[in-house]
Amino acid sequence: MRRSVVAIATGLVALTVASCSSGEPSAQQPTSSQPSSGGQQTSGNNSPSPQPKAVALAVTPADKAGDVPPGDPITVTAADGKLTQVAVTNQDGKPVTGAISPDGLKWESAEPLGYSKTYTVNASGQGTDGKPASLTSSFSTVKPGRQISVSVNPTDGQTVGVGQPLAFYFSSNVPDKAAAEKALKITTEPKVEGAFYWFRDNEVHWRPKDYWKSGTKVTVDAAVYGKALGPNLYGKEDRKASVTIGKKVVAVADGATKQMTVSVDDQVVKTVPISMGKRAHETPNGTYVVMTEQQDYTMDSGTYGVPADSPGGYRTKVAVASRLSNSGIFYHSAPWSLRQQGNSNVSHGCINMSTENARWMQEIGSKGDIFVVQNSGGKPLQSWDGLGDWQVPWEEWVKGGKK
């Protein structure tokens, strides 16, 4: 019995000691922050420390590449390390400008290359293992079979009305329209929703969903140089333009009342008598955009296919004229029809008004202003006639036109 009592007492002591082990660990007990014997040292989040590696350098275009479009950038990248130096030169030793990014992971050229040139890339870097590495690569740019140029309307520095589309005219047809759109960079402040629409294979316009807001700043960068726009067809040179959207001027010419109402920034400022197209020469109905403004301009029916010396032809000089369409629709001064203005339509399709009112219109407005013709008895304005962009509903516009 005494032996049993001793065993029980010994067990109670052991339980008492075990029940106190939730306090500070004893010096002999390992803690979670200490590696077990023979184990790998780990960080506080239990993930292994990254192993040092040699830097991996890569160049685009690839080494020995040929027929590279000179509008494409050269890039040099570093993985598992950083770039320390990059030098790119052409066959004549002329350097290509560029810069290494602040994080040291990428170098990119900052200027276009030349056609039919060979370039050499020398790049150096350092890996996370601290060891240097270098790379040399070369490539050649394409010799273009044909080059294509582009012009931009409006031009740099102009202030235009709220209806002005951005029109791009190429010197020949563009087979790769997606590549062309990618090269035409448009920036606006504030940002607006807009899209491209191809009227012809060599003509594309960009316009916002709704009329521009006055004060909008527009920057156009037609960066077509060196870009492949079709089989062996490359852009010749870039075009740039910075444009400001002016005040909102809208004229509504009504063929039924023979009156034109003009508003500025949505406030009616004047109503003037007019005369529009007579029978068989009805002015097309629709939303026009003022294309150009002229003074002392000769109105010539021959510009739209009617010889001046034929029946119905004319060649008349006017003091003020603003073009509304390529087919010959203008608003212009017409002192010879003052009696008919406000009473009957007697023109060959143009909007006649007094010299005083025509001059006033040009003074308050600019190219890009909206000019609406309604109740004229004429057919609808064709969207391709001049800048009839607003004749195309947005749902149709975003489909891109003649792709």
Catalogue the active-site residues.
332, 350
R_g (Cα) of the chain, nearest Å: 37
- 381 phi/psi in degrees, rounded to 5: -60, 135
Token pair listed for 146: 């044909």
Starting at the edge strand that comes first in sequence, how are the strands of the sheet with 370-374 ordered? 267-273, 259-264, 249-254, 370-374, 286-289
| Residue where the block lists tokens 């029109």 | 167
Tokens of 394: 């947005």
Query: How far is 369 from 247, CA to CA, in rounded Å?
Result: 9
Residue type, 33: S
Query: How far is Cα 139 from Cα 63, in angstroms, rounded to an integer?
Result: 6
How far, in Å, CA of 341 to CA of 353, rounded?
A: 7
Kind and range of the H or E element at 107?
strand 106-109
Angle made by CA atoms 356, 360, 363, in degrees to the nearest 5: 140
> How many whole angstroms from its chain centre is CA 283?
35
CB atoms within 10 A of CB 172: 14
Residue type, 31: T
Element holding 17 (H helix, E strand):
helix 2-19
**90 near 119, Cβ under 8 Å?**
yes
CA–CA distance, 206 with 194 (Å, rounded to integer): 7
For the chain, the helix, strand and coil percentages under 3-state DSSP, each to the nearest 5: 10, 40, 45
Note if the bond before 112 is cis, omega within 30 degrees. Answer: no
Where does 116-263 have alpha helices with state H?
177-183
Count of CB atoms within 10 A of residue 173's CB? 14
